[in-house]
Structure 1
């Protein structure tokens, strides 16, 4: 389909690609991954012909059609409504539509057979190209990407850049090309739209190449992973999780080969030193020196996974109730966000606030942070609570003339320079990078600086609005590690499900203008929510046959006593079972907390599966206990 052979691409004196090779086959769904700066976006531009290789070839069939979504499309604008913009994908159908309209106009005065035949041919071709359904298809895809019917009538120019990007994505999907090239397609999508796009791409018949930092999204869609690293392209025959396992295995093998080779080199060098001193052995020594020179050296494995090695500090612990929301009502002229909503954030909560865009997630964060006071009701901050609020607009508050290290020193004067350098190193600012001025940084780099600032604050409550925007996978992993170590309370909005699943122990969502809560991880919530959607809504319950005119008989007292005794016995047994399950769950949690378990991937996976099953069993037993306890209370009345 597309063959990349010995590709070299140089920027100045630096070779971004050095004789790289890669063949894209029909129907493959590929994740193109790699650290920032390794040339992923550049490679897509080389494939579509925006850039020319320094050497090597990129060959493909002449009739191959490509759909390319790139971040440059953010600036595209039009005064047409978004349905018309999306329908520009149907170039031939639109051309035929205009020709048919012209022919119909001519037929008002000219009834010639020639015109009738032309009209019939055009209409036949239009029907074969499914032209009568193109508007329906456009509406369908726009709805999947989060646009309402009212939105569809608005001009593209009235939308923000992120929403315009969604329209451009819809247009590319409607083209149904032979291959889709998608550069960060989830950047401007909310969770429902990402999930819709996953399903769409899984059923897409053509090939797909995706550049994305959203590993959950990649795992759901791709069946091949290609890593761009050190100027080469390495193919892995599976999704992102498979890539991680396979790469670890390859690195273990490489590490072993490196150690063995180094031991052999040291042995040869010792022999050469011994032989070199004797004239009779000089020839042998020279021969061994030549052999060493010709030896193809195995490289040691580079550590691409930096770890967080600093600890959070805050000078005082918060009270039990961090924020209490009571009777909160928040409305905008066109939408009601909250109506008499209530919720409590308790010490130690790590909350993921999720949902579609426009449901009020960022508004709720601002209310919690006391940054929005235009609402009814009360939001009470608890005793000794110190707050840091991170949001994307706060990137603008960075001091452009400051060096990175100066920015952190001014914000966190109690930290030593060594501590601040350690924190910045965790966010990939090493060596002289810390002396770069803020004004020369990219959007992603500024995000990392702002996050580093937030994490150095003397705060026991973190409020984070889309902290993973503009972060690559390495940086997301660093943030996950940092928040897992954080002993305070936090609430976060993000569309990165892998991130949420690794940092949150509670899920909040806004539904029916109320704040609702699920007490568990994102994976557990996702399973619960999927089952909830599958359950029939307000389905009529089958009615039991009722015997009319037959009064309810009062149970004799002795029977009631016997029944209570039996139920209390059952309750006691159930409490013993719950206690045993709780002990099992805690035991498994202790095993999972031991990092050495992850050296045995199969055992770790089995233990994780057992943990999930035991937690589910525990929740079910607790629900049965509650039902039985209510039954006993009813009988005791």
Structure 2
């Protein structure tokens, strides 16, 4: 489907790819990964442009149709559904011909092609995609000009998905989706009938929706079958192997050099010394790729305050010009809380956190906060609040006006900016660098509550890992809005659900919530009415019986986990004993040790049988409890 052959590309004197090659087969779902700035988006652009080039290092399959999200949908009077249907240009052309062609033979050919391409189900398929990406049924008949830029980007994504190109190119598709939309897209891509090449830093998407990884590293392309975690393991193994080989080579080199140094001057050894010199010259250095280090995030421990840090009591939240977005909110935040806030876009998640951060006054009710509380607030909207024409040092100076120039530079370096970046005006920084600066400025205030509204949209995978590590080490409370399931699962232990004008604790985990979102979407998809005027039913809260089952089976699940750990430990012991017993010289060298090892093996084998039996019984008990 896609062949990249010996591609070299430079931009402004900087080499992004040199002799890079890769081949992607039809039907693969491929995640294109690499550090920020390595050239992933540039590679996608080159692939798009190859469609019009006759002599190119990039070739796509013969007659293959390529599709991508070029820009947001135009703010036109066409409805959302009409715009999505028009994205499949062949279908639109055939539908038009079916209404205008008068020749019977030509009309028969048109209808035959419409049937072959399943064009008659177009409206229901388009509606399914749009609702999956977060639009309501009533939105489908609204004009595109009524939606914001972010929602029109979703509409553009819906269009390219509806067109079903043979090669689908996606560049960070989850950046403008919420958690619900990202969950739907992940499910959709799994069953997409053609080839997908997507750039993403969303680890959950790269683990669950792709069949192959295409890594852009050290100016080269590397194809690996499997998901992101599989690629990471392979990469670690290769690095460890290279380090071991280099250590072995260094030892051999030192031995040869020692011989040369000792005997070079001796006539009787001169020939041997020369032979070893030639061996040294022929040795090719084993080069271990240098890992780019990701600068750590750091959130200092706040001054100690008694819980609760913050309480909303029967509060109505919203904007003074309109009706409340959320009503009757009763929530509290304690010192050790790690809370992920879930709910579809437009339900009021940002309204909630702005009210907690005191950026929105309450319409009704009470907001009670601990004395001297400091709340750190980060939102993607703040990227536009950075002052053009000023650099990182200037921004830090606002927070620490009494700091010396040396202290300011030290703080900026700790945030992650070297000298050149520290003096670069913010408008010239990348999205990830702007995020790092804003998070660093927030950390300087030593907040008791850290509120993060979509902090990872511009961060690469390694930077997201660094953020997870920092949040888990942070001693204050965290409120998190994110479409990144991996980040949420790694840092949050409770959920708040914002839905239908309410905000309340959610009695379930992210896995429960994602399943309910997908189930609700399937219900909408299976509905025969595409143009229904009613809003789709929101995902219902999990039934109490499910929670009770999880609690009832907690002890059984612990037994299963303990048995699995025992089995893994005993199998490793068994493998180690088998390796020792495989040494044929052992029986001549130390027969008693061989006998002892054999007895140890019998003992471990018996313990393994017991552990496997315990695992089997616990698993059967769990299945019975869950089914009851």
TM-score under structure 1 length normalisation = 0.76
**Please, which of 246, 249, 254 is the counterpart of residue 258 of structure 1?**
246
Superposed, 1:116-515 pairs within 5 Å as 116=104, 118-278=106-266, 285=273, 287-304=275-292, 306=294, 308=296, 312-314=300-302, 316-330=303-317, 337-412=325-400, 428-430=416-418, 432-515=420-503
State the secondary structure of the residue aligned to 2:137.
coil
State the secondary structure of the residue aligned to 1:187.
helix
Instruction: Indicate how the Cα distance of structure 1 residues 178 and 428 shifts in structure 2: closer, same or farther if over 3 A, else same.
Output: farther
Measure how far apart 1:125 and its partner are.
Answer: 3.8
Could you tell which deviates more after superposition, 482-491 or 434-443? 434-443
Give the number of aligned pairs: 547
Instruction: Indicate how the Cα distance of structure 1 residues 33 and 418 shifts in structure 2: closer, same or farther if over 3 A, else same.
Output: farther
**Please, which of 90, 93, 96 is the counterpart of residue 92 of structure 1?**
90
Instruction: Indicate how the Cα distance of structure 1 residues 459 and 124 shifts in structure 2: closer, same or farther if over 3 A, else same.
Output: closer
RMSD in angstroms over aligned alpha carbons?
4.0
Structure 1's unaligned 5+ residue stretches are 104-113, 540-576, 592-599, 622-637
Measure how far apart 1:140 and its partner are.
Answer: 1.8
Instruction: Indicate how the Cα distance of structure 1 residues 39 and 530 shifts in structure 2: closer, same or farther if over 3 A, else same.
Output: closer
Q: Distance in 1 between matches of 2:386 and 2:482?
A: 22
Could you tell which deviates more after superposition, 429-438 or 369-378? 429-438
Q: Distance in 2 between matches of 1:331 and 1:310?
A: 32
Q: Give yes or no for contact 2:297–2:466 (8 Å, CA) kept in 1.
A: no
Instruction: Indicate how the Cα distance of structure 1 residues 220 and 78 shifts in structure 2: closer, same or farther if over 3 A, else same.
Output: same
Q: Distance in 1 between matches of 2:284 and 2:323?
A: 67
State the secondary structure of the residue aligned to 2:27.
coil
Q: Distance in 2 between matches of 1:525 and 1:156?
A: 30
Instruction: Give 1:83's aligned residue.
Output: 81
Instruction: Indicate how the Cα distance of structure 1 residues 279 and 12 shifts in structure 2: closer, same or farther if over 3 A, else same.
Output: farther
Q: Distance in 2 between matches of 1:530 and 1:126?
A: 30
Higher normalized contact order (CA 8 Å, seq sep 6+, divided by chain length): 2
Measure how far apart 1:218 and its partner are.
Answer: 1.2
State the secondary structure of the residue aligned to 2:126.
helix
Instruction: Indicate how the Cα distance of structure 1 residues 174 and 530 shifts in structure 2: closer, same or farther if over 3 A, else same.
Output: closer
Could you tell which deviates more after superposition, 500-509 or 379-388? 379-388
Q: Give yes or no for contact 2:449–2:478 (8 Å, CA) kept in 1.
A: yes
Instruction: Give 2:9's aligned residue.
Output: 9
Instruction: Indicate how the Cα distance of structure 1 residues 537 and 482 shifts in structure 2: closer, same or farther if over 3 A, else same.
Output: closer
Measure how far apart 1:410 and its partner are.
Answer: 3.6
Q: Give yes or no for contact 1:85–1:171 (8 Å, CA) kept in 2.
A: yes
**Please, which of 72, 87, 94 is the counterpart of residue 74 of structure 1?**
72
Structure 2's unaligned 5+ residue stretches are 524-538, 543-550, 566-572, 576-610
Q: Distance in 2 between matches of 1:175 and 1:158?
A: 23
Instruction: Indicate how the Cα distance of structure 1 residues 423 and 90 shifts in structure 2: closer, same or farther if over 3 A, else same.
Output: same
Instruction: Give 2:24's aligned residue.
Output: 24
Q: Give yes or no for contact 2:114–2:120 (8 Å, CA) kept in 1.
A: yes
Instruction: Indicate how the Cα distance of structure 1 residues 383 and 64 shifts in structure 2: closer, same or farther if over 3 A, else same.
Output: same
Could you tell which deviates more after superposition, 367-376 or 115-124? 115-124
TM-score under structure 2 length normalisation = 0.77
Q: Give yes or no for contact 2:315–2:362 (8 Å, CA) kept in 1.
A: no
CA deviations on 1:219-274 (whole Å, 9 max, x unpaired) are 11012112111111122221011112121111111111122222223333333333
Measure how far apart 1:281 and its partner are.
Answer: 5.2
CA deviations on 1:78-137 (whole Å, 9 max, x unpaired) are 44222222112332332232233334xxxxxxxxxx745554554444344333322222
